[in-house]
Structure 1
Amino acid sequence: MASLAVIILTFNEELHLARALKGVAGIANEIFVVDSGSTDHTKEIATQYGAKVVEHVFTNYAKQFQWALDNCPITSDWIMRLDADEIIEADLAAEISRNLPNLPNEVVGINLKRKLVFMNRTINYGGRGILVLLRIWRRGQGHIEDRWMDEHMVVQGGTTVTFNGGFADHNLNNLSFFTDKHNRYATREAVDVLNQRFGFMPREESLSVEASSYQAAIKRFIKEKVYNRIPFEFSAAGYFLYRYFFLLGFLDGKEGLIYHVLQGFWYRFLVGAKLVELTLTIEGMRDSQAIAKELAKQTGLRIEANFPRLTASKSS
């Protein structure tokens, strides 16, 4: 029988964690909850469900997850990445249990089809329906991309397959939490775009199509090579109109309208505005250490130039 370890990163996730743990209770041999200083009952809930709790200071998701891969005492054959607000539904759990032991050796990764539930409504349109994400891989054959945003799992040494069972992203927090979270995301994404331009931190520049999916690779290419080169005051509005009308986002009802406006326009506009703001704060700087230090000061993020003092050159 194949064995499976599940890794969940947490910070104040008492609202979601028990639900996530119940979803994998019947398929996971090991569960590691990597916490970054929760002040609620997250760690107690994890312990109650038999998870091993490990604490580590958070820099960004990619670094935290890679730290977990490198430091958790994982012995299982396979590893699953799961967010605390995600749900492995019963049919997917059964599919994993049934198929995982029978996969040929050349299969090193498994994609899952994740749906989005927002304000208790499944979002089916606007390009935000099913996302195909690589979430299970053979131990020792996967790592997470070193990026501040839009990080994906990358596997090597074989091929991937896709399971079809129910997998959902269903956050139960209110809109204040949603906007606060996306405000923080906007800061991180603006830093990531600046790093793409100035190269003051290491960053994986490409996504292996074999490792994840054509869907993710195409979206990243369009975002980085096309969207990010258009002035944000036009790109944000154009993106929302494309999603809401051309991709039929209006069919998602009132909840869909709220989601597509906030995530498809407001968030994209905010990223652009923060990018302008942060660009002004580092105007004239070319030294990577100085850029990293100033951005850390302005954003409160743990930004460090992870190599010696270098002259940063702007790229198109």
Structure 2
Amino acid sequence: MNQHFSFIILTYNEEVHLPRLLASLDGLNAATYILDSGSDDNTLSIAAAAGAHVASNAFINHPKQWHHALTTFSITTPWVICLDADQVITPELYTKLSAFKSEDFAGINGIYFNRKNFFKGRWIKHGGYYPFYLLKMFRHEVGYSDLNENMDHRFIVPGKTLIWKDGIILEENLKENKISFWIAKHNMYSDLVAVEEVERLAKTRNQTLQARFWGSPDERTAYLKQLWWKLPRYTRPMLYFIYRIIFKLGILDGRTGIIFHFMQGFWFRLVVDIKIDELLKKEKNASRTGQ
């Protein structure tokens, strides 16, 4: 059994994805821990057949689900790798992990992987979507889930990190090939983001990470989010869409890619802005009536 790292995977009705992910991990001989949130398909039987340690927890949001996984599983390795069920590791990353030894990374607490994201079978190469670095591997009981986020789940580690630019994971949610699934999913996400932004306006929710443009990939994201929150609602979705399509060359992703950039970069964020105003109006009416 691998003495250096273990895998943690979150699942919910992932029978179409989980076999693909587990196949990409085969041969690394690492313990696999799966936290499920109520699957009613074959996910649990697939996990059991693979010899994974399985537990269940009701889903609230991704940051809280990851927090539960990191704090309840009895992990014995010094490092963990946290993957979504719709991701797979590439042969290049597999080679890096095969050679990984904890003692070779003294003083390093986290490693960023590079992600290739797919939508309806097409790699979204432009629009700011590649390269895209995610902190996926870190020292157990050093890294943790950022609970100050409602929807954008990320892990945080103090100390030094590395970026494996050629350590690539592929992410393709096959269920999103049906656009009604994508819309329903992002409609739910928009509820979470709208609540989060209203709380930030009220200064009842803060960023965990230090916002630094020249910092780690996540610190840069924190910096850019601060800029985003200062932009006027209803204007910022269009500005962001133009930025992705024109300045980040999203137009080169073709028709499928342009649809993705429109839906994810404009439509989703416009819905968030509408819901923010609905929440603010509700709060204002409640204060007027004394409720």
TM-score using structure 1 length = 0.83
* Equivalent residues in 2 for 1:158-197, closer than 5 Å: 158-163=159-164, 164-173=166-175, 174-197=178-201
Name the SS for the 1:113 alignment partner.
strand
The structure 2 residue matched to 1:153, chosen from 135, 152, 155, is 155
Partner in structure 1 of residue 264 of structure 2: 263
Partner in structure 1 of residue 218 of structure 2: 216
Partner in structure 2 of residue 141 of structure 1: 142
Name the SS for the 1:226 alignment partner.
helix
Indicate if the aligned counterparts of 1:4 and 1:28 stay in contact, CA closer than 8 A: no
Partner in structure 1 of residue 63 of structure 2: 62
Indicate if the aligned counterparts of 1:145 and 1:204 stay in contact, CA closer than 8 A: no
Q: CA deviation at 1:285?
A: 5.6
CA separation of 1:100 and 1:117: change in aligned 2, threshold 3 A: farther
- Structure 2 portions without partners, runs of 5+: none
Letter in 1 for 2:45: E
Q: CA deviation at 1:214?
A: 2.8
Q: CA deviation at 1:101?
A: 4.0
Indicate if the aligned counterparts of 1:2 and 1:78 stay in contact, CA closer than 8 A: no
Partner in structure 1 of residue 44 of structure 2: 43
Partner in structure 2 of residue 76 of structure 1: 77
Partner in structure 2 of residue 306 of structure 1: none
- Residue-by-residue CA offset, 1:27-55 (whole Å, 9 max, x unaligned): 25211110111111111111111111101
Distance 1:206 1:75 in 2: 27
Letter in 1 for 2:116: K
- Structure 1 portions without partners, runs of 5+: 287-293, 295-316
* Equivalent residues in 2 for 1:1-316, closer than 5 Å: 2-146=3-147, 147-156=149-158, 158-163=159-164, 164-173=166-175, 174-200=178-204, 203=205, 205-208=207-210, 214-223=216-225, 225-283=226-284
- Residue-by-residue CA offset, 1:77-96 (whole Å, 9 max, x unaligned): 21011000011112211111
Indicate if the aligned counterparts of 2:126 and 2:250 stay in contact, CA closer than 8 A: yes
Q: CA deviation at 1:197?
A: 1.8
Q: CA deviation at 1:99?
A: 3.0
Q: CA deviation at 1:195?
A: 1.6
User: Which piece of structure 1 moves more, 21-30 or 6-15?
Assistant: 21-30
Distance 1:14 1:172 in 2: 11
Distance 1:53 1:214 in 2: 33
Indicate if the aligned counterparts of 2:4 and 2:100 stay in contact, CA closer than 8 A: no
CA root-mean-square deviation: 2.1
User: Which piece of structure 1 moves more, 273-282 or 19-28?
Assistant: 19-28
Distance 2:199 2:131 in 1: 30
Distance 2:202 2:88 in 1: 38
Distance 1:27 1:51 in 2: 14
Q: CA deviation at 1:131?
A: 0.8
User: Which piece of structure 1 moves more, 277-286 or 147-156?
Assistant: 277-286
- Residue-by-residue CA offset, 1:180-233 (whole Å, 9 max, x unaligned): 111111111101111212255xx45132579xx63332233222x222232322
Distance 2:92 2:68 in 1: 31
CA separation of 1:183 and 1:165: change in aligned 2, threshold 3 A: same
Distance 1:2 1:160 in 2: 21
TM-score using structure 2 length = 0.90
Distance 2:155 2:228 in 1: 23
